A = this chain, B = another copy of it.
């Protein structure tokens, strides 16, 4: 992909990650959503997690907040594009901006990389695609965690587990911080685990202590300092979790 792009544009490349689990569109969408707001205007993001390659799934350019997103129409781009502004989407249709021979198995190299490179070189999105108003969004909402006032419960889902074993939920940190002080103990109840007590912490807790933190994504994370919450609690992406605000 970089080879193809470097023949089209002198723009510099910034690698975000090559370690998304194979075919895990949701993990890719989360990572793109988490980094895009930090990039300057004019950035072009080329993202490829593409289990549908070779089928009729469409390719997209999404313009939003002065940034451009290029990739398959499978939900990968949508959360990031929404996070940085008001998205306008284009279905990629103009083969003039593709590699001469397009394989059925690697559109990253043959379609998305050359399209992104042409965009970086100044070709407008309208020249490469046609406007479209329908595009895929992931089922999990990255900020969809809710306060259930009557029960005193914050309810959400685990949307990402990082390489340290911290489990990121889709509950915005303010929902917790507006309701309770730090240094309290709460009860966490997850779909498949026993209830456990954990301490709220501004940073990470004491070594080995299970705690809830206001993480760097602006979301609540379940974490063990210098340990793995994933392993200790058997956490998985997609699990529903409930945080009881009254504590024990």
Q: Interface on A for B, CB 8 Å cutoff?
A: 2-4, 6-7, 12-16, 22-23, 35-36, 38-40, 43, 51, 53-55, 103-106, 109-110, 163-164, 201-204, 213-216, 221, 225-226
| Contact B54–A22 (Cβ < 8 Å) | no
Cα separation A53 to B201 with both chains bound (whole Å): 12
Where chain A touches its partner, the secondary structure class is loop
| Contact B40–A203 (Cβ < 8 Å) | no
A22-B163, A22-B164 are contacts. A105–B14 as well, Cβ < 8 Å?
Answer: no
Which of A105, A201, A215 has most B Cβ within 10 Å?
A105
A3 contacts which of B4, B39, B104, B221 (Cβ < 8 Å)? B39
Q: Which residues of B contact A16 (CB under 8 A)?
A: 2
| Contact A104–B14 (Cβ < 8 Å) | no
Cα separation A225 to B13 with both chains bound (whole Å): 30
| Contact A38–B225 (Cβ < 8 Å) | no
| Contact B203–A39 (Cβ < 8 Å) | no
Closest to A215 in B: B105
Cα separation A225 to B190 with both chains bound (whole Å): 32
| Contact A204–B106 (Cβ < 8 Å) | no
Cα separation A136 to B216 with both chains bound (whole Å): 26
A51-B226, A54-B204 are contacts. A103–B4 as well, Cβ < 8 Å?
Answer: no
Distance (whole angstroms) from the CB of A225 to the closest CB of chain B: 7
